[in-house]
Amino acid sequence: MRLAIAAGLALATLSAAAYAAEADKPKSESWSFDGVFGRYDRAQLQRGLKVYTTVCASCHGLRQVHYRNLVEVGLTPSEAKAVAAQKEVDEIADDGQIKKRKADLKDRFVSPFPNVQAAAAANNNKAPPDLSLIVKARENGANYLYSLLTGYGAPPADWKEDGKPKKLDTGQHYNKYFPGHVIAMSPPLTADTSVEYPKDGPKPTVEQMAKDVTAFLAWAAEPSMEDRKRTGIKVMLFLLIFVGVFFVIYRRVWKDVH
């Protein structure tokens, strides 16, 4: 038995090593939504929403989220409506013609491109992925995303591939945390990025914006997280009591059995 566990552990380390792609291990941040009692920080989500709408939304969709969901990050319905109204959607009018109308609470977040082909064509043949589930669609999602957004830089001087020196082509960027290090997304958050932050909060530094937008996208990927954990604690407490009661009954019933 002990042998089995030891062998298992040894193999676990080995296979983890075998799996590491050519990307740095993401930084390890602490998040308000970590852990059993984790909650989203509403102020942070709202700042993150701002970063998303001002910066990322020009390339990335968020189609699993509806504008009505924004009340869950603490917006009032009219504020949420205002966010929606910045975009337009197609509608079939009574005369059968397609016409534009302002997006509303009932609509999904409007994607910047009509289809993947258009998205790729506008971005060096790499379509920017929809971000609704990005935090769940990557290993160690939140940490990875934060690291990616803050991981741009110049390639190392001795950068090589298959022994040959390697250079970036146009439209390519070096990022420590992206698998293969070469990413088609230009650094979205830089010192020049201007996102309007509330006066009484943190300054919109690159790190701060990266953190906030990551938190927002974590919420977008898993809006039911708080409900889940809250329910989970109740369920665990119930089960503990249940187990306790039945342990006593079990012992009672069995006490005369030898």
Interface positions with other proteins (CB under 8 A)? 1, 3-4, 7-8, 11-12, 14-15, 18-19, 21, 36, 64, 69, 129, 132-133, 136-139, 141, 179, 221, 223-224, 227-229, 231-233, 235-236, 239-240, 242-243, 246-247, 249-250, 253-254, 257-258
Cα–Cα distance between 193 and 158 in angstroms, integer?
31
Question: Residue 12: which of other proteins, ligand HEC, none does it interact with, CB under 5 to 8 A by kind?
Answer: other proteins
Task: Give first-to-last CA distance, the chain, whole Å.
Answer: 29
The reply on whether position 220 binds ligand HEC by CB under 6 A is no
In degrees, rounded to 5, the angle at the alpha carbon of residue 78 between the alpha carbons of residues 77 and 83 is 95
Query: Is the Cβ of residue 69 or residue 150 nearer to other proteins in the bound state?
Result: 69
Which of residues 56, 62, 220, 221 is near ligand HEC by CB under 6 A? 56
Which of residues 70, 84, 185, 218 is near ligand HEC by CB under 6 A? 185
Which of residues 23, 123, 133, 225 is near ligand HEC by CB under 6 A? 123
Compute the least distance from the CB of residue 200 to ligand HEC, in Å.
23
The reply on whether position 142 binds ligand HEC by CB under 6 A is no
Structure tokens belonging to residue 201: 């909060």
Cα–Cα distance between 218 and 214 in angstroms, integer?
6
Segment interacting with ligand HEC (CB under 6 A) among 13-21, 94-102, 145-153, 157-165: 145-153
Residues 73, 46: contact at Cβ < 8 Å?
A: yes
For 88, the enclosing helix (H) or strand (E) is strand 88-92
The reply on whether position 218 binds ligand HEC by CB under 6 A is no
The reply on whether position 50 binds ligand HEC by CB under 6 A is no
Site residue total, ligand HEC (CB under 6 A): 22
Residues 61, 111: contact at Cβ < 8 Å?
A: yes
Which of residues 42, 63, 66, 138 is near ligand HEC by CB under 6 A? 138
Query: Is the Cβ of residue 105 or residue 206 nearer to ligand HEC in the bound state?
Result: 206
Beta-carbon contacts of residue 48 (< 8 Å; ≥ 6 apart): 212, 213, 214, 215, 216, 217, 219
Q: Is the sign of the CA dihedral 50, 55, 58, 61 positive or negative?
A: negative
Structure tokens belonging to residue 245: 């009661």
Query: Is the Cβ of residue 154 or residue 257 nearer to other proteins in the bound state?
Result: 257
Question: In degrees rounded to 5, what are phi and psi of residue 94?
Answer: -60, -25
* Length of the chain in terms of residues written: 258
H helices of 104-186, in order, are 116-121, 141-149
- By CB under 6 A, the residues from 74 to 103 that bind ligand HEC are none
Question: In degrees rounded to 5, what are phi and psi of residue 229?
Answer: -70, -40
Give the interface with ligand HEC as residue ranges (CB under 6 A). 51, 55-56, 58-60, 123, 126, 128-129, 134, 138, 145, 148-149, 183-186, 188-189, 213
